[in-house]
Amino acid sequence: MGQYTDFIHFMGGDLWGVIDKLDYLEDLGINGIYFCPIFTSASNHKYDTIDHFSVDPHLGGILLSIL
């Protein structure tokens, strides 16, 4: 339970979606965002990290990590 194998079972967006909305969030007066772990993991909560050196593919993967 709590595991997903594809986007159908993944509840949430990706970090690119957050980046796209940064101006909107700033306009709302938001000046900080708390993220749960973003590293590769087999669960939705990501606290059971498999690889501390790679961004989970569901959240943006290697393209995001080069930012």
Q: What was the pLDDT predicted at 10?
A: 56
**pTM, to two decimals:** 0.55
Q: How confident is the model at residue 6 (pLDDT cuts 50, 70, 90)?
A: low
- Chain segment 27-38, per-residue pLDDT in tens: 999 999 988 888
2: left (phi over 0), alpha (psi -120 to 50) or beta: left
Neighbouring C-beta atoms of residue 18, cutoff 10 Å: 14
For the chain, give the mean pLDDT: 79
What are the respective helix, strand and coil percentages of the chain, to the nearest 5?
25, 20, 55
| DSSP character at residue 12 | S
Q: How confident is the model at residue 21 (pLDDT cuts 50, 70, 90)?
A: very high
